[in-house]
Structure 1
Amino acid sequence: MEPIKPTESELQILQVLWSLGQASVRQVNDELSKVRDIGYTTTLKLLQIMFEKKIVSRIEEGRYHLYEAAITEEATQQFLVDKFVDTAFRGSAMKLVMQTLGNHQASKEELDEIKKLIAQIEQNA
C-alpha cells in the first residue's frame, strides 16, 4: 500500500479528528479557526479531497456528514519522521536526536523517558 502523505492543511485537520474522534465539517472548522483564518467552504473542500484520498472516512448523519481519520496518528508520525530523517539528516537518526537535544531544553522527565527508551533498545539488541 502506498503511504499516505498528508499536506500541512490535511495534517491540521487530522490533528482535530484525532483529538475529537468523529466531527462534522462545522466542528472541524471551529477548531481550525482557533489557530488560523479558514472559511467553512475551504474546510469542506479539504475534507472532501481527504475523503477521495482515503485519509478520512465519512458517515452520513441526516443532513450532514461525520468525518473520522482513516489513518492513525502513530502511523502518520512514523511516516513523517522517516521522511524527515531521510531528507534532512541523510537517514541519520543520531543527527536528528543530537540536533534536537542541542537546540531544545529537554525537561528532566523527557530526559528520563529518552534514557528508558535507550535502555529498552539496548536490551532488545
Structure 2
Amino acid sequence: MARDKSTFKPTEAELNLLNILWQTGPATVRQIHEALSETQKTGYTTVLKILQIMHEKSLVIRDESNRAHVYAAANSETHTQSSLLKDLIMKAFGGSTSKLVMRAIDDSTSNEEIEDIRQLLSELEK
C-alpha cells in the first residue's frame, strides 16, 4: 500500500532547510546552501539531494522554469508545526494536550513565559 505523501514528516535535516525557506522565501539550492553554511558544515550536493528527496515527499515545491531551480516550502511553518505537534501528542502523550503542556512547563519556565501563557489562555477563554 502506497503511503500518502501528505503524511510524510520532515526529518531534522529537512526541517533545517524548511526553516531557511520559511525565513527567506523561495530560494535556489546555492542560496539555501549558503544560509545553512552559516550554522553548520554541509556540502552543496548534500543540500541538493535533501531538497530532491523533500520534493519527492511533497515537502517543497520546485520551480524549474529557470536554469537554477527555485525551491519553496509546500506548507506554511504553522501548518508543519501543528502537524508535528499533533503527531507528538498522539505518540508520546496518548492524545492528551494537557499532558504535553504540563511536561513543557517545568521549573525552567521563566516568569515572563508563564505570563505569556496566562495571556494566551485568557484570550482562548474569550
Partner of 1:47: 51
1:27 is the counterpart of 2:31: yes
- Report the alpha carbon displacement of residue 116 of structure 1 after superposing the two structures with TM: 2.0
8 Å Cα contact 1:56-1:69 kept in structure 2: yes
Structure 1 residue corresponding to 2:82, chosen from 53, 78, 82 = 78
**Unmatched runs of 5 consecutive residues or more in structure 1:** none
Note if 1:122 corresponds to 2:125: yes
Instruction: Report Cα offsets for 1:28-52 as digits up to 9, x if no partner.
Output: 1112222222110010011111112
Q: Say if 1:16 and 1:31, in contact at 8 Å, map to a contact too.
A: yes
Deviations 1:62-103 (A, max 9, x none): 321111111110011001111112222222222221222114
> Are the structure 2 counterparts of residues 63 and 73 from structure 1 closer, same or farther at C-alpha, using a change threshold of 3 Å?
same
Residue 107 of structure 1 and its aligned partner are, at CA, apart by: 4.3
Q: CA deviation at 1:20?
A: 0.4
Q: Which moved more, 1:57-66 or 1:32-41?
A: 57-66
TM-score (norm 2): 0.85
Aligned to 2:101: 97
Q: Secondary structure at the match of 2:72?
A: strand
Aligned residues between the structures: 122
1:4 Cα deviation from its structure 2 partner: 3.5
Percent identical among aligned pairs is 43
- Pairwise CA distance, 1:22: 1.0
8 Å Cα contact 1:22/1:67 also seen in 2: yes
Task: Tell whether the 8 Å contact from 1:32 to 1:38 is kept in structure 2 after alignment.
Answer: yes
What is the root-mean-square deviation in Å for CA atoms of aligned residues? 1.8
Residue range with higher mean Cα deviation, 5-14 or 95-104: 95-104
8 Å contact kept, 1:56–1:70: yes
**What are the ranges of 5 or more consecutive residues in structure 2 without an aligned counterpart?**
none
Q: Under a length normalisation based on structure 1, what TM-score does the superposition of the two structures give?
A: 0.85
SS at match of 1:64: coil
